[in-house]
Amino acid sequence: MAKALKGVVYTRLPHKINQFKRKDFVKRMTKTTTQKVTQVCVLDQNGQPLMPTQRLGKVYRLLKTKKAHIVAYEPFTIKLNYEPQTHIIQPMTLGVDSGAIHSGYSLANEHREYYNAEVIARDNISKNISDKRMYRRNRRSRKTHYRKPRFNNRKNKGEGWIPPSLKQKVEVQVKEIEHLHQYFPIENIIIEVAEFDIQKITNPDISGKEYQQGTLQGYNIRNYLLEKYNHKCFYCDKEVSTFEVEHMIPRARKGSNRIDNLTLSCHNCNQKKGTLTAEEFIRQTLTPQKAAQKLRQLPKTKQLLKYMAHMNATRWVLYNTIKEMYDSVSITYGYITKYNRINAGLPKAHHIDAKCITGFSTVPSFDVTVVKTKMRRHNRQLHRATFSKGHIRRAAVLPKLVHGFQLYDIVLFNNHRYYIKSRRSSGSFALVSLEGLKDTERIYKKLTFLAHTNAYLTNYYINDKILVC
């Protein structure tokens, strides 16, 4: 989470509004810190979003007199049962700070900020696909070894195709934009598209002919590595007659074939290293003094380069997808966002960058930051890296709905909100609170359903501290 977060958040409204007085209602809808801040989204009769309101008393009266009803809790939203006399709308601008894993969102206009959030996408898609491929190949070798291999049954990767791991990250951002369009009157969408120069990042001083020709101009890979490491093994510094080209981050650990991920190794060191990374192997085999010296020679931008490559691959896919869905969509660049953030004196954070993208970086900020973490919706046994007892995988798992509940549903138990972490067909569910504390297993009859989360774990933060609703 970013620093310097402040504010409060509203809690849920009971289903039976008449069991609480107005004073109790307002008390349950707000938590008081330095200031009182509440917000309820409003939809008209046709489901079109109106301006959010902070008038809790009026919301209470509308619900009590059945002139409105609750349609959502995340965010808390009511729908009017009558035609309002006026439709005064102050259109908002949605700023999207697109990232490889974390993405920021902000809704603002010239008056104030109405919403900000950070969404964390999944980063384990590649591993799950690799596990699935391993299991399928193993089964085919055991059960259908007599079949001839077929290579023409693969999906045609046409123009615009991106890997499933990157496609999922784009879909998470698209769904969040669709979600906000349901509850807020959004007029414009501004998306930051980031473009990274990998050569400049790995070597800031590169220029001229060297920049145009690349690192390996005039070399093959082996000769380049021999010259770079002085004909010595990178790990043990021995001079041997034959060297092996080795990955610092193994291919099994998502290492690339880039030249800065390759090194020279003798056969013994390569065999001992196995699937360890260069950093792990050095720390295990060398003395602390020698290990510190070797670690200084390792590239420091491995993970950064990976995410930058993801951004380069997905930036226009996201923009083109949103452009097809909505009319008023534009782009901006990182240097403009940075300029606005520095001029406003704001700290670095994804939701703060999103606010600067809207162009209203100086307006009052919304007090609560919503952090959503994307989880796996329905985990199938095929993707698990461990076998069941007796090395027999179960043919079936629990259905999506068990007694009307699914994974990560928000439920109410003893006036406290929980997520459903796991379920049993008997009706005994394991619950986890918002702050991650586990509760004992509870029978489903004692739980009150609040909302589906679509496999999102949602937390609210004030000053870097989680709020428990």
Is residue 408 situated within a structural domain? no
* 420-463 per-position pLDDT tens digit: 888 888 888 888 876 666 777 888 888 888 777 777 877 777 66
- In this structure, the answer to whether residues 175 and 312 fall within a common structural domain is yes
Question: What does the block give as tokens for 354?
Answer: 């999103």
- In this structure, the answer to whether residues 363 and 223 fall within a common structural domain is no
* Residue (of 78, 1, 91, 10) closest to 47 by Cα position: 78
* Residue (of 101, 89, 30) closest to 59 by Cα position: 30
Strands 113-120 and 102-108 turn out to be antiparallel
* 343-385 per-position pLDDT tens digit: 988 988 889 999 999 999 999 888 788 888 888 776 655 545 4
- In this structure, the answer to whether residues 169 and 46 fall within a common structural domain is yes
Question: What does the block give as tokens for 155?
Answer: 């999906």
The torsion of the CA quartet 228, 234, 239, 245, rounded to 10 degrees, works out to -70
Classify residue 203 by its DSSP letter.
-
CA 193 – CA 299 distance, rounded (Å): 26
- CB–CB of 89/44 below 8 Å? no
CA 174 – CA 140 distance, rounded (Å): 37
CA 262 – CA 246 distance, rounded (Å): 6
Domain boundaries, position 57: 17-122+162-194+305-374
Is residue 157 situated within a structural domain? no
pLDDT of 65 above 80? yes
Report pLDDT for 191.
92
- In this structure, the answer to whether residues 178 and 270 fall within a common structural domain is no
- In this structure, the answer to whether residues 261 and 293 fall within a common structural domain is yes
CA 445 – CA 56 distance, rounded (Å): 32
- Least-confidence region, from 249-253, 411-415, 436-440: 436-440
* 70-111 per-position pLDDT tens digit: 888 778 888 999 988 877 889 899 999 988 888 999 999 999
DSSP string, 73-107: ETTEEEEESS--S------EEEEEE--SSEEEEEE
> What's the predicted TM-score (pTM) here?
0.71
Q: How many Cα atoms within 13 Å fall on the side-chain side of residue 362?
A: 5
Show which of 300, 325, 355 is a domain's final residue.
300
Here the contacts of 107-110 (C-beta below 8 Å, separation 24 or greater) are 107/180, 107/184, 107/186, 107/358, 108/355, 108/358, 108/360, 108/363, 109/360, 109/363, 110/360, 110/363
Question: What does the block give as tokens for 447?
Answer: 């739980």
- In this structure, the answer to whether residues 27 and 106 fall within a common structural domain is yes
CA 10 – CA 53 distance, rounded (Å): 13
**Averaged pLDDT for residues 288-314:** 72
Report pLDDT for 12.
41
Give me the chain's average pLDDT, please: 77
Highest mean pLDDT among 4-13, 235-244, 305-314, 387-396: 235-244
Number of domains in the chain: 2
- In this structure, the answer to whether residues 206 and 245 fall within a common structural domain is yes
Report pLDDT for 210.
54
Tokens 């620093």 — which residue?
3
Question: What does the block give as tokens for 126?
Answer: 């590649």
